[in-house]
Structure formats: structure tokens, C-alpha cells
Amino acid sequence: MTHSSAPIPQHPSELRIFGLGGVPEVTPGDDVAALVGAAVEASGLGLEPGDVLVVTHKIVSKAEGRLVRLPEVEPSALASRLAADAGKDARQIEVVLREAKRISRMDRGVIIAETVHGFVCANAGVDASNVASEVVCLLPEDPDASAAGLRAALGERFGVDVGVIVSDSFGRPWRNGIVNVAIGVAGLAPLADYRGQHDPAGYELRASVLAVADELAAAAELVMHKLEARPVALIRGYVPPTDAPPGTGRDLVMDPARDLYR
């Protein structure tokens, strides 16, 4: 069992993750990049090349006006029946159905839907937390474009190239709890493909494609804390494990033809 030939590193690698506060309540039309930039400045951290900013989609969606006032929603017959069965608000379910491209499961009061972006998640990403009463929040129309816009504006303001991830928290089959994932990506490779490389034992890695953007988003959630109004995390010291070019959040969406669990 002694096949190790790669040098064994002695010095710890280090990643630092900061949860940034100081972002006020966001309303439609606000300039999210300006708000995020101000939060970075208020933190005293500045931005360094290679930093990754993770921004919860909620403030992006709000700024982009992706809000629906429930009193203005007329539920369909299907939404009304589903709501009655589940003891939920028919208007909110109507919004979920409008955001869905395809229903994956509709059972036990839960709607798991595929969004227009190709994400499969509860309620097609429609969410009533962290918004006003009688209002629900949708996912950004194009989270990759939102991330790219943030990246461009922050690059201009701070004069450095950073990565940007727009995040949301999704459930997963088989495991309890939700985890933060990347729904929009700009300026970094969302996947690290180790296939063809060799591990320290000399074995060729065959099934090792890591979803690093999702891991970055998950890491960021640990400092964001839902109840504390820290909608932005700054990750410093991330070393991409491969030299893959930057990609987008779409790269994380599995081709339906490969998916065994649609």
C-alpha cells in the first residue's frame, strides 16, 4: 500500500471566507454592484485578484424587480386545487406554476419543478422569505448575466479581476436540508475536471469532476446566516485546482439526456 510518490505538502493551504454586512434592504431598480462594492469598501478588505464574491440571488432578484405581488395574481384552477390539498396559498402556487418549465414531482404538498434555466428545485425557485408580506421573489431571469454584470462593474470599480457567483439554496434528493449552490457564475471555472490526471497513488482519476462553484457557494453560506442580513461573502485564497477557462452556471446543469432522476 505504499505507492505515494507525489511530494507531501507540509504548509497548510488557506482559504478565508468573509461574510459582508452593510447591505441595506434592496428595492427594484437598485444598483446591486454599487451596494456590493460599498459593502466591500465598508469591510476594509478591498478586492484582490482571484477573490470570489458570492451574492445571494435574493438581492439580485429584488434589484432586478423579480418580485410578484400576490394580490395581483389570479390563481388557475390547478393552482387552487393544489393549494386546497396542501393548505397553501393558491396565488403563490400559481406563481410557481408560471415559473416552471416542467413539473418533476408534485406530491405531499411539495412541487419540485424545472425552471426555465434548467434548475430543478422546490417551487421553481419562488420564495417568500426575506421579502415583504404578500410578495414573492423569483429567480433572476438570467443569473449568469447578473453575475457577469456584477463582475464587470466590480472589476471597473476596484481594478481587479474577481469571480462572481449568484447563489440560492436548493434541496437535494436523499439528504435532509438545503445547501447553497451556484445558479449564476462569471469569471471562474464552475467545474474542476480531474479526469486523466493521476492521484498521489498514481491511479488515473476517472470519475472526478468537482462542482467547485457549488462548493464555493456552500462555503459562503456558512458566513451568510439567513437571520443576519449578510447577503454577500468574499472568498479569498481560492486556488482553482485546474486551469480550465471560466464558465457559467449553465455548465452545472446536467444534460437531461444524462439525468437518471428527472
- Choose, by CB under 8 A, the member of 85, 141, 156, 228 that binds a second copy: 228
- Choose, by CB under 8 A, the member of 51, 146, 221, 248 that binds a second copy: 221
> Cα separation of 257 and 102, whole Å?
15
CA distance readout (Å), 108 to 2, 22, 127: 52, 39, 18
Q: Closer to a second copy at the Cβ: 152 or 218?
A: 218
Specify burial of residue 207 (Cβ count, 10 A radius: 0-12, 13-18, 19+): exposed
Q: Which of 25, 17, 16, 22 is nearest to 42 (CA)?
A: 22
Q: Is 12 in the site for a second copy (CB under 8 A)?
A: yes
Q: Is 128 in the site for a second copy (CB under 8 A)?
A: yes
Q: Which of the ranges 24-32, 74-82, 145-153, 154-162 carries the binding residues for a second copy, by CB under 8 A? A: 24-32
Q: Which of the ranges 75-83, 95-103, 141-149, 207-215 carries the binding residues for a second copy, by CB under 8 A? A: 207-215
Q: How far is the CB of 176 from a second copy (least distance, A)?
A: 5
Name beta bridge partners: 103.
113
> Cα separation of 180 and 187, whole Å?
19
Q: Which of the ranges 74-82, 95-103, 104-112, 143-151 carries the binding residues for a second copy, by CB under 8 A? A: 104-112
Q: How far apart are the first and last CA of the chain?
A: 41
Stretch 31-50 residues interacting with a second copy (CB under 8 A): 42-43, 45
Asked if 187 contacts 54 with a C-beta cutoff of 8 angstroms, the reply is no
CA distance readout (Å), 186 to 19, 32, 144, 209: 20, 15, 7, 19
Q: Is 77 in the site for a second copy (CB under 8 A)?
A: no
Q: Is 86 in the site for a second copy (CB under 8 A)?
A: no
Decide: helix, strand or coil at residue 156.
helix
Q: Which of the ranges 75-83, 90-98, 149-157, 226-234 carries the binding residues for a second copy, by CB under 8 A? A: 226-234
Q: How far is the CB of 202 from a second copy (least distance, A)?
A: 8
Q: Is 78 in the site for a second copy (CB under 8 A)?
A: no
